[in-house]
């Protein structure tokens, strides 16, 4: 009998959100107390709960919604839980679902802020277990794109506060030892729509909007600037302000 092909996991693309603690250009190896020897790429994506709820209910190109996958994962977990030894089931009591996102609360009022965070992860390296490459190391990293869908190369630091979308797959899990169940959101690619890098901030964070007038063209100013123009004459005292689907 031919070996059954591994089931392909459905792919999803989030709405636009704000990046929180992005680790997208270099692997995170953890700390001395909590090491991550294989490295890990990750980020949290913050958005309004209304947007999150609509996204979870929306079907992807394969006709599957993230909510459908989550409910199926919990049904499978219930079936797996029923197969555990009686003593284990008595001790654990029931399946413990982990939500798809974390609800954010105001520290002072302790009321929901109306925003939530999704968490995405990707293992940076590992070892082939089978086949001709068994024992060899593999490495990977998330694909990064700009607002126009062009691949982002090296040298770009993506900081928290940047905005964009995330492409990922949902992988069901059930942990027999704790009865925890849910979906792992496995990072695939990221589209950066608004970049915050090296401490820069977007114009709207300063209260600036679009106006008629001066427009900055980096190619034009690269051509006009010469090595002799180093006096800084005429420069202001303040520094310059920094700053859909695939």
Q: How far apart are CA 34 and CA 28, in angstroms?
A: 11
Q: pLDDT tens-digit profile of 149-192?
A: 999 988 899 999 999 999 999 999 999 999 999 999 999 999 99
Residue 26 resides in a domain = yes
Q: What is the mean pLDDT of residues 64-84?
A: 97
Residue 53 resides in a domain = yes
Banded pLDDT at 213 (limits 50, 70, 90): low
Q: Which tokens in the block code for residue 129?
A: 């277990």
Residue 241 resides in a domain = no
Number of domains in the chain: 1
Residue 153 resides in a domain = no
Residues 6+ apart with CB under 8 A from 199: 159, 242
Residue 134 resides in a domain = no
Domain of 112, CATH number, reads 2.40.50.140
| Residue reference for tokens 């928290």 | 160
Residue range(s) defining the domain that contains residue 51? 11-124+165-187
Q: Which of 36, 166, 178, 25 is nearest to 101 (CA)?
A: 166
Specify the pLDDT at position 242: 41
Q: pLDDT tens-digit profile of 111-131?
A: 999 999 999 999 999 998 988
Residue 227 resides in a domain = no
What Cα–Cα distance (Å) separates residue 219 from each residue in 133, 151, 211, 224, 242?
47, 20, 21, 9, 18
Q: What is the pTM of this model?
A: 0.79
Q: Which tokens in the block code for residue 188?
A: 């695939």
């Amino acid at each position: 009998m031919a070996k059954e092909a591994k089931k392909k996991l459905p792919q999803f693309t989030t709405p636009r959100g704000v990046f929180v603690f992005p680790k997208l250009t270099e692997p995170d190896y953890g700390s001395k107390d909590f090491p991550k020897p294989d490295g890990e790429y990750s980020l949290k994506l913050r958005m309004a709960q209304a947007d999150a709820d609509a996204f979870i209910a929306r079907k992807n190109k394969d006709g599957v919604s993230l909510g459908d996958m989550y409910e199926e994962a919990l049904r499978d977990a219930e079936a797996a839980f029923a197969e555990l030894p009686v003593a284990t089931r008595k001790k654990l009591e029931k399946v413990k679902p982990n939500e798809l996102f974390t609800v954010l609360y105001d520290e002072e009022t302790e009321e929901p802020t109306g925003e939530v965070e999704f968490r995405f992860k990707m293992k940076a390296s590992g070892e082939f277990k089978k086949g001709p490459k068994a024992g060899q190391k593999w490495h990977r990293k998330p694909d990064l794109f700009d607002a126009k869908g062009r691949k982002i190369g090296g040298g770009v630091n993506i900081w928290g506060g940047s905005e964009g979308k995330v492409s990922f797959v949902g992988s069901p899990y059930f942990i027999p030892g704790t009865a925890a169940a849910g979906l792992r959101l496995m990072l695939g690619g990221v589209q950066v729509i608004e970049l915050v890098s090296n401490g820069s901030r977007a114009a709207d964070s300063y209260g600036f909007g679009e106006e008629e007038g001066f427009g900055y063209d980096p190619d034009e100013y690269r051509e006009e600037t010469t090595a002799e123009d180093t006096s800084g004459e005429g420069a202001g005292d303040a520094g310059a302000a920094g700053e859909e689907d695939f």
